[in-house]
A = this chain, B = another copy of it.
Amino acid sequence: MSDLNEESSKEHVEDSLKQVVDLIARQKLVESLVHSQDMPRHELVEALVHKQNLAELQKKLDELHPADVAYVLEALPLDDRLLVWDLVKAERDGDILIEVSDAVRESLIATMDNRELVAAAASLDTDEIADLAPDLPKDVVQELMKSLDEQKRAQVESSLSYDEDSVGALMDYDFVTIRADVTIETALRYLRILGELPPHTDKLFVVDKDKRLTGVLPLKRLLVHDPEAHIAAIMVDDPVVFHPSDSASDAAQAFERYDLVTAPILDPQNRLVGRLTVDVVLDYIRAEAQEDMLSMAGLREEEDLFATVWRAAKNRWLWLAVNLCTALIASRVVGAFEGSIEKLAALAALMPIVAGMGGNSGNQTSTLVVRGLALGLINKENARRLLGKELGISLLNGAVWGSVMGIVAYLLYQNVALGGVMAAAMLLNLLVAALAGYFAPTIIARLGRDPAFGSAVLTTFITDSMGFFIFLGLATVVLL
């Protein structure tokens, strides 16, 4: 991205997608005509149409911003995607690979040979190379590293050494530094000599001779102050800073809270090592949110909408296998009461309601807790109150919906005791649901795992099994 004009014109990108799809369809039509017709005299004409079509498609692609080409690629099924990818100019490959989702990136990289990959990656900034490297074949990475100069190689290696959820993995090395003891006049002259500033530059980083950060100078201040003033007098001397090992999600929250555009990244000796920018933070926040959503549904990794059946199925197996196990255990709980069910088959019809309502209520609680944990809003002091509130809600909802279902069960089966058992089981299972919804994410988080991933399955497992147990157990004791 960084080499491109940030301000490029906005196409209506969905219109572009439609045009590309139309051109591909036309292209396919021409190809099928060429193949189906035996009359050689038409060949020349069709070859011309064929060529003209491809040229038009290529022109369209050249006009698009790399991010828009990425969007088009993601929306196309695999064969159309590869047709478009072939038409993209080689020098844009790198910029586009950085923009597409991981799943789609893999499908594109699979079609490129090592030479193409090295060329594409070499055109990128070091932080972007580090982004791409984990998806490249090992020998390509080796070759690529050899092709870089020493400083760049060191930067890529350093970026690669940080955990993917740390600030270090998100930082870039594109910043402008300045000394505190010069005047604005001098600074302006220096900038004119530079001739260009890195994308997103909203401030200069003020450093001393050991590269230690002493402050930051927003460009705004540079513009509105007297040219005679010294940088030291107008810089901000307590800026928000980060360290490479800081958590990326904390940094993202700080960007949101303090409305930052860029921030310096320092080593433990306060020496400037990199920069974090809001565009990377924005991508990170979006990716995090999507990951949470996908992982709550048990999709282990981002999935290409048009992945092969085999790949996609594998992505979903872990979750289905875990669910099969938990469902099997819940099923054995029911199995233990088969004698009761034989005597009163109504129990089989009513038991899914008890389990299902518990699952829904429990997942409402666990979603709130997952969100509270993610935002850092839950701590030792307020945890008990939160649990108390959730239990209170369950008591209230259990009384209300338990009564409703008790009456419905009575009306359906004309059995007062069955209605009573239904009502009591609903109430009890909603209390279980509050406990499960509170403790499942809390315990998963305490184990250092992502609560968004496991909370739903654990909560549902508990509310299903306990729902069956409570309802069938009560029924066996009271009714039979």
Contacts and interface: CB of A to CB of B under 8 A. Distances in A.
A99 B375 CA distance: 14
A334 B348 contact: yes
Contact of A68 (B257, B309, B396): B257
Contacts of A40: none
A219 B216 contact: no
A67 B257 CA distance: 6
B197 A220 contact: yes
A192 interface: yes
Interface stretch (A141-149, A154-162, A237-245, A439-447): A237-245
Given A219-B223, A327-B356, A353-B327, A361 B285 contact: no
Contact of A385 (B68, B77, B392, B464): B77
A240 B404 contact: no
Contacts of A405: 324
Contacts of A366: 297
Given A76-B382, A313-B397, A240 B364 contact: no
Contacts of A345: 338-339, 341-342, 348
Contacts of A261: 200, 202, 261, 278
A337 to B, nearest CB: 8
Interface in A33-89: 65, 67-68, 71, 74-77
A1 interface: yes
A195 interface: yes
A140 interface: no
29 contacts: A7-B258, A8-B238, A10-B241, A75-B378, A76-B382, A192-B225, A197-B220, A197-B223, A197-B224, A199-B259, A281-B282, A282-B285, A290-B371, A293-B296, A293-B367, A297-B363, A305-B382, A309-B389, A309-B396, A312-B393, A316-B397, A323-B360, A327-B356, A330-B356, A331-B349, A331-B353, A338-B346, A341-B348, A345-B348
Interface of A: 1, 5-10, 13-14, 17-18, 21, 25, 65, 67-68, 71, 74-77, 99, 188, 191-192, 194-197, 199-203, 216, 218-220, 222-226, 236, 238-241, 254-261, 278-279, 281-283, 285-286, 289-290, 292-294, 296-299, 303, 305-307, 309-310, 312-313, 316-317, 319-321, 323-324, 327-328, 330-332, 334-335, 338-339, 341-342, 345-353, 355-357, 360-361, 363-364, 366-368, 370-372, 375-379, 381-382, 385-386, 389, 392-393, 396-397, 400-401, 404-405, 408, 412, 464, 468
Given A256-B282, A305-B386, A323-B357, 8 more contacts: A282-B285, A290-B371, A297-B367, A299-B364, A309-B393, A313-B393, A338-B345, A342-B342
